[in-house]
């Protein structure tokens, strides 16, 4: 029996590599004869850079960049083993994990640090840049990122707008003449962890801005700002701007997906597909009879393009059952059954609070995997 263990991170507790190790250790305890293959994954959010760089034998260096509130910080830039592909994880430069909860405010946060990482990749000769855009603290439509690379976003008086999505309502002109010319010779691939459009009830502001510290009035300010960004960009680029705003993933990272596509010509793809291709997932899947995956919380957002769904779709094509483990399994996660997940399994054995579950995540994963393996071994004996 060959098992493929391919989880994402358990956010705030374990990396994808640590999750895979705990699951593999537990399964081997419950079924010593089974062969466990591990393939840690990511979907464009935190952990994407580590997964891709480890898989390709690349290197990581740290650059000083602008954080989401304008502070200076060190963020990683990955160069893949081919020496030509750079990996940028926006969460490391513009992510919500970088800001204490009481200071989060997407009216003012900026994606400038992500732009500085992209600029660093260009300076190192990258001709292909993968940008993972999950886990953002921002809602600026990628304007901070593009400004670092030479774009200008001006008000009616010709003044550059201050950082943050809260100022986009005053946008009058977009000037792309000064964009770094190296971008024209560089392929940019966006690895998005969600499929939301830019605007509307399922868009960047209304779905995700409340998680980033915005109240109801601020959400509407941000929505109007992104709508204004599309309106002004449409005058520059034509009707294709409206189509870009509707593209799945355009609303990811507070509209950074849209900004990368509009201003840098990037291609937006589901992040899990990008990562699975890079790690040779399908070759591993071909030799296995069972897949085990998981993430910290299985809920409705999991269905929007997260790792578990990407894994389940690939496994269903081959008729392979999928077990998804989660620190928390919300009732609405039942929709994942329709996407190829055979069973949803919470790892907590009793009435533990969230903090305790997070602290004990490795132990709980190992225990749950061991029990699953013992059951499967018994019924297949």
Over residues 164-174, the pLDDT tens digits come to 999 999 999 99
Q: Are 324 and 290 a contacting pair, CB within 8 Å?
A: no
Q: Are residues 115 and 260 part of one domain?
A: yes
Q: Are residues 36 and 181 part of one domain?
A: no
Does 153 reside within a domain?
Answer: yes
Model pLDDT for residues 245-275, shown as the tens digit of each residue:
999 999 999 999 999 999 999 999 999 999 9
Q: Are residues 56 and 32 part of one domain?
A: no
Number of domains into which the chain is organized? 2
User: In the listed set 237, 272, 307, which residue is the last one of a domain according to the structure?
Assistant: 272
CATH number at residue 183: 3.90.1510.10
pLDDT at site 353: 81
User: In the listed set 272, 303, 318, which residue is the last one of a domain according to the structure?
Assistant: 272
Residues 309 and 316: their CA atoms lie apart, in Å, by: 10
pLDDT at site 1: 87
Q: Are residues 309 and 178 part of one domain?
A: no
193 burial type by CB count under 10 A (0-12 exposed, 13-18 middle, 19+ buried) = buried
Does 281 reside within a domain?
Answer: no
- Residue 239 pLDDT level (bands cut at 50, 70, 90): confident
Does 307 reside within a domain?
Answer: yes
Is the pLDDT score of 12 beyond 90? no
Does 77 reside within a domain?
Answer: yes
Q: Are 124 and 86 a contacting pair, CB within 8 Å?
A: yes
For residue 232, the SS3 value is helix
Q: Are residues 100 and 210 part of one domain?
A: yes
Q: Are residues 33 and 52 part of one domain?
A: no
Q: Are residues 345 and 266 part of one domain?
A: no
Residues of the domain holding 357:
2-40+292-380
Mean pLDDT, rounded, of the chain: 95
CB crowding 294-331: b at 16 or more within 10 Å, else e: bbbbbbebbbbbbbbbbbbbbbbeeebebbbbbbbbee
Regarding pTM above 0.75, the answer is yes
Q: Are 188 and 265 a contacting pair, CB within 8 Å?
A: yes
Q: Are residues 170 and 205 part of one domain?
A: yes
Q: Are 160 and 153 a contacting pair, CB within 8 Å?
A: yes
Q: Are residues 111 and 187 part of one domain?
A: yes
Does 282 reside within a domain?
Answer: no
Q: Are residues 105 and 13 part of one domain?
A: no
pLDDT at site 145: 98
Model pLDDT for residues 328-370, shown as the tens digit of each residue:
999 999 999 999 999 999 998 877 788 888 899 999 999 999 9
Does 277 reside within a domain?
Answer: no
Model pLDDT for residues 84-128, shown as the tens digit of each residue:
999 999 999 999 999 999 999 999 999 999 999 999 999 999 999
Q: Are 365 and 26 a contacting pair, CB within 8 Å?
A: yes
């Amino acid at each position: 029996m060959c098992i493929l263990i391919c989880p994402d991170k358990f956010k705030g507790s374990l990396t994808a590599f640590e999750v895979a190790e705990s699951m593999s250790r537990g399964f081997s305890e419950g079924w010593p004869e089974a062969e466990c293959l591990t393939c840690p994954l990511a979907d464009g959010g935190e952990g994407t850079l580590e997964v891709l760089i480890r898989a390709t034998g690349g290197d990581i260096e740290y650059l000083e960049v602008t954080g989401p509130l304008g502070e200076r910080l060190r963020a990683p830039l990955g160069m893949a083993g081919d020496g030509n592909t750079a990996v940028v994880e926006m969460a490391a430069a513009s992510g919500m994990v970088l800001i204490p909860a009481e200071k989060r405010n997407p009216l003012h946060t900026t994606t400038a640090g992500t732009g500085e990482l992209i600029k660093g990749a260009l300076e190192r000769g990258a001709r292909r840049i993968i940008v993972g855009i999950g886990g953002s603290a921002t809602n600026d439509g990628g304007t901070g990122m593009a400004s670092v690379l030479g774009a200008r976003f001006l008000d009616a008086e010709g003044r550059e707008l201050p950082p943050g999505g809260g100022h986009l309502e005053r946008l009058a002109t977009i000037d792309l003449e000064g964009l770094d010319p190296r971008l024209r010779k560089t392929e940019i691939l966006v690895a998005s962890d969600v499929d939301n459009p830019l605007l509307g009830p399922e868009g960047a502001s209304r779905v995700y801005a409340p998680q980033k510290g915005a109240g109801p009035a601020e959400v509407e300010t941000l929505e109007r700002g992104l709508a204004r960004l599309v309106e002004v960009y449409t005058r520059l680029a034509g009707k294709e701007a409206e189509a870009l705003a509707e593209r799945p993933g355009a609303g990811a990272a507070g509209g950074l997906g849209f900004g990368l596509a509009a201003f840098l010509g990037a291609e937006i793809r589901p992040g899990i597909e990008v990562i699975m291709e890079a790690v040779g997932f399908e070759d591993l899947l071909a030799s296995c009879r069972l897949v085990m995956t998981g993430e910290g919380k299985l809920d409705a957002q999991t269905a929007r393009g997260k790792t578990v769904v990407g894994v389940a779709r690939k496994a269903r094509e081959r008729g392979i059952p999928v077990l998804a483990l989660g620190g928390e399994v919300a009732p609405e996660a039942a929709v994942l059954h329709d996407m190829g997940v055979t069973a949803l399994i919470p790892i907590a054995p009793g009435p533990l609070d969230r903090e305790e579950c997070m602290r004990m995540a490795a132990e709980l994963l190992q225990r749950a995997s061991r029990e699953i393996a013992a059951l499967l071994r018994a019924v297949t004996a």
